[in-house]
A and B are shown apart, each in its own frame.
Chain A
Amino acid sequence: MEERRGVAEERGGGVEERRSEKTRELVRLFKSRAREAGAVVVEPGKLDGALAYALDLVLAREAAGVFAEAKEGGDPSSLVFLDLKPEDEPERRREMFASKGIRVAEEGLRKCAGGIDLAFTGCALGIAESGSVLIETRTEDLRLATMLADLHAVRLPKSLLARDLSALPPRLRRELFHSGSFVSLVTGPSRTADVERVLTLGVHGPLELHVLLTEE
């Protein structure tokens, strides 16, 4: 009995180790491919760290005097969108931004033609080989936030990393079953090479894409 448990534990440990070795490898691959596509990839720890990172991005922009243009109502202060689940303690997180004088949009993104400063969202999957994140948006506000934000910070828990595109079809089948579904595989910030083939970031969508690889 004792002995058997020992063996099982050992095996369990081995599987754990192999799993974490596999994750480490996927993380390495994801980072290099996403960076090649122009994304910034960081490992800020858990949700707290991820939000702190996002907050820093906005504050650094403010310090440099950069704001999204032409905001609704003429209020020049920064405007962010936070995609948080009920279990993420959204009130407390919003307060984190509000206490620094940053406005948090919760709905009505359609009014923000001038754009918003930052969108903080989750994602459904990360694809290591292409350095992409799969973003499923069932609500219009979330969808528009990912398009209108100057900076898009995507939280990608490492457990959601897959090696290649073959992870997509099951998710797509499930999402596309619903009417009004809208799923994007996003790789790097918005880009164009239409003028003299000079690669330029941020033509229509986000100027910067930050992928925050979190532990949970």
Chain B
Amino acid sequence: MSPSSTWKDYRRKVSGALADQRLREVLGRFAGDYARSREEVFRGVDFSRLRDEVSEIKDRALDDNARLLRRFASEAGKRGAEVILARDAAEAREAILRTARENEVRSAVKSKSMTAEEIALNPALEAAGIKVTETDLGEFLIQLRGEAPSHMVLPAIHLSRFQAAQSFREAGIPGAEGSVENLVRAARRRLRPLFFQADMGITGANFLLASSGAVGVCSNEGNARLCLSLPRVNVILAGLDKLLDGPEDCLPILELLARSATGQRINGYVTWTAGALPAAPADGKRRILKIIILDNGRGALLKDPATRPILRCLRCGACANVCPVYRLVGGHVMGDVYIGAVGLVLSRYLNGSDRSPVLQDNCLACGACREVCPAKCDPLRAILEVRRRGRESGGGSPGLELFSLVLPRRPLFRGLLRLARGLQAPYAFGGGIRHLPLAFARDGGLRSLPALAEKTFSEILPSLELVGAGRISCAVFSGCAHEFVLPGELAAGVRLLSRAGVQVLHPRKQGCCGLPAAALGLEGAARAAARQNVDAFRGVDCDYLTSLCPSCASYMREEYPRFFADDPERLEIWSALSRKIIDFGSLLLREGNLRGELFVRGGERAAYHSPCHLRLGLKAGASHVDLIELAAAYLRTPLENACCGFGGCFSLKFPEESRAMAEEKLADYQRRGAAVVVSDCPGCVMRLRGAAREMGRPLRVEHTAVFLESRLKKTP
């Protein structure tokens, strides 16, 4: 399959998911419910301490993986189990098939195991004439329907009770109509005898405890316990990454796993079992227990420091639950076997490297997954890393290469943008042109984003008549959006600061922060941009460093140190500067000297859009609505924190998804009576404003700086 047809297929899947109104409703409701129950169940729990513990435990176990594996095999062996290390999916399948042949297995029951899906076990068993039944209710349902799971924890979340009941009816399972309870009872009646009849039970595992060769399994339904207890042949299949040392290592994981997965305090059943269970009293045969430990790419992930943290993953699914892309299109589009943010990465490494070359682009880089992950996997970082590698191994397009050449060369960059401005008319589309640096990307579609401004911010700066010296000083990083597209926003911002006696410094040699390059996987260009900016700010004496774009600021703060790992001089300069970073809203609240009486207060209601990179990236913005209240009636809305769908290149690659996200928000704002939407990020402002225009909604969208500055009373 050629990459472009893969890309087309993928886009078609995305469109299909977007058109599924019911799915969107289900996922939207789920996102809201999950956020609420998560908040509830974490009340009084020290999440950050526990997840530090979890990641330390996991790291320790990963460091020690080879020894733990040997110990596990020997302890489990002493207790009558056979441990098999499978290097890849084929070896794992073969080990299970061999076990089945040797023990004359004709039927098997399975409890939920993503690892079994990873190795495509069911088709292999069926091809060998073995009847396999999934016993987890959700898995059972999608097995009946021949579908793939759409969530790691709730595999049938895409189905309604009616669809489920219909599938039962078609499979000849009576009594499933009328209520979810009837459905559940019907499944109980159907599945119970199968546990007794099956020759083989196949189970996944959450923990492999080396000190005792024991296996730990979490479930809510209790099917894993039956699978482990009844059939005479037992297979437990788990990834290498599930090895831990002793039972104490399970505790912080148990504290976080169910809370993160479903907002429950703990899983209904956590079972630990060591060794083959004694034979059933009557049949006298020895019980067989095989534990298959799967590598399938994990060993390589383990050796690579950039991808290793992803092996801490507990498979809780939280990173899907909070992901704005998942919320919109669901799991059939967002991953392969593993779903959600972590799925975008694992689908690449564990399922054979090229099955999903386009998946990683379906991410807004909002950082929500990073925030909730109980094991500090930082899926976003891994996604960006995968993209980078994809480009390096030849996944770039001519546009991208041009981009990477141009970006670090500021005069060339400006020159090209000027040229683009000159050529604006032929490219114009709905009053806008291709967005900035992405204008160079070949597969960037035409979007209704604002056109380049007549004059750049640097060009209008001298005319702003700012105070020459102030009680404090603040260096400003403008960022591409404010430099080239919306310089008026930044001008309004610096005027507000200057009015409060803050001396504004704008080093001339600064350029793009490098985020778009990093997001596209163009590591060299991103590094060059970082160097250039640190050199531009070298020697600037300031109390603060601010940007009116939280995407630039959070990216620079988070990522720049990485580029200077072998450049101690720049690292030192940057560390000192980085400590001074403050987002514009917080700076205004602290130093802006703003009071309500300074503003002309209209009666209009103003809602807030919280940018992901401000809230999650810079961990700021909690009190920014105070700024709104200075000049208007602030209107609290439930979707305030929902992503606008911008995500830089995301909005170009997935225009429909991006638009759907913006539309959902705007519709809600309007329904609740907002006249203006205020936000702190030029990207969000452009996205929401563009969508409002496309949809003909009478909402105004303003950057906080403009919102405030335009409402200042004229001083006599």
Residues on A facing B (Cβ under 8 Å):
33, 36-37, 69, 107-108, 110, 113-115, 129-132, 140-141, 143-144, 147, 165-166, 168-169, 172-173, 175-198, 200, 202-206
- Residue B672 at the A interface, CB < 8 A? no
Q: Which residues from A are CB-within-8-Å of B264?
A: 37
The chain A residue sitting closest to B165, CB to CB, is: A195
- Residue B187 at the A interface, CB < 8 A? yes
Taken together as a complex, chains A and B put the C-alpha atoms of A204 and B221 apart, in Å, by 6
Taken together as a complex, chains A and B put the C-alpha atoms of A110 and B266 apart, in Å, by 29
Q: Which residues from B are CB-within-8-Å of A166?
A: 251
The chain A residue sitting closest to B41, CB to CB, is: A36
The chain A residue sitting closest to B278, CB to CB, is: A180
- Which stretch of B268-276, B389-397, B408-416, B647-655 is in the interface? B268-276
Taken together as a complex, chains A and B put the C-alpha atoms of A132 and B265 apart, in Å, by 10
Taken together as a complex, chains A and B put the C-alpha atoms of A175 and B272 apart, in Å, by 9
Contact of B262 (CB < 8 Å), options: A110, A193, A203: A193
Taken together as a complex, chains A and B put the C-alpha atoms of A140 and B273 apart, in Å, by 13
Q: Which residues from B are CB-within-8-Å of A206?
A: 222
Q: Which residues from B are CB-within-8-Å of A69?
A: 189
- Do B192 and A173 touch (CB < 8 A)? no
Taken together as a complex, chains A and B put the C-alpha atoms of A179 and B279 apart, in Å, by 12
9 closest pairs, A vs B, by CB? A205-B222, A194-B138, A179-B275, A179-B79, A172-B247, A176-B212, A190-B222, A204-B222, A194-B137
Instruction: Return A141 CB to nearest CB of chain B, in Å.
Output: 8
Q: Which residues from A are CB-within-8-Å of B127?
A: none
- Do A184 and B280 touch (CB < 8 A)? no
- Do B209 and A191 touch (CB < 8 A)? no
- Do B255 and A165 touch (CB < 8 A)? yes
- Do A195 and B265 touch (CB < 8 A)? no
Instruction: Return A47 CB to nearest CB of chain B, in Å.
Output: 26
Q: Which residues from A are CB-within-8-Å of B564?
A: none
Contact of A37 (CB < 8 Å), options: B225, B268, B270, B274: B268
Q: Which residues from A are CB-within-8-Å of B196?
A: 110, 113
Residues on B facing A (Cβ under 8 Å):
26, 30, 33, 78-80, 135-138, 141, 154-157, 159-161, 164, 180-181, 183-185, 187-189, 191-193, 196, 209, 211-212, 214, 220-223, 225-226, 228-230, 246-248, 250-251, 254-255, 262, 264-278, 280-282
Taken together as a complex, chains A and B put the C-alpha atoms of A74 and B30 apart, in Å, by 44
- Do A179 and B274 touch (CB < 8 A)? yes
Contact of B180 (CB < 8 Å), options: A110, A165, A169, A196: A196
Q: A147-B226, A179-B78 are in contact. Are A185 and B183 (CB under 8 A)?
A: no
Contact of B225 (CB < 8 Å), options: A177, A184, A195, A198: A184
Instruction: Return B69 CB to nearest CB of chain A, in Å.
Output: 18
Q: Which residues from B are CB-within-8-Å of A107?
A: 281
Contact of B265 (CB < 8 Å), options: A114, A180, A187: A187
Contact of B33 (CB < 8 Å), options: A132, A140, A169, A197: A197
Q: Which residues from B are CB-within-8-Å of A184?
A: 225, 269-272
Q: Which residues from B are CB-within-8-Å of A181?
A: 214, 272-275
Q: Which residues from A are CB-within-8-Å of B209?
A: 176
Q: A165-B254, A185-B266, A200-B181 are in contact. Are A192 and B137 (CB under 8 A)?
A: yes
- Do A194 and B272 touch (CB < 8 A)? no
Instruction: Return B568 CB to nearest CB of chain A, in Å.
Output: 44
Q: Which residues from B are CB-within-8-Å of A129?
A: 265
Contact of A190 (CB < 8 Å), options: B220, B230, B273: B220
Instruction: Return B28 CB to nearest CB of chain A, in Å.
Output: 13
Q: A192-B220, A200-B181 are in contact. Are A205 and B272 (CB under 8 A)?
A: no
Q: Which residues from A are CB-within-8-Å of B280?
A: 110, 140
Instruction: Return A136 CB to nearest CB of chain B, in Å.
Output: 10
Taken together as a complex, chains A and B put the C-alpha atoms of A144 and B228 apart, in Å, by 11
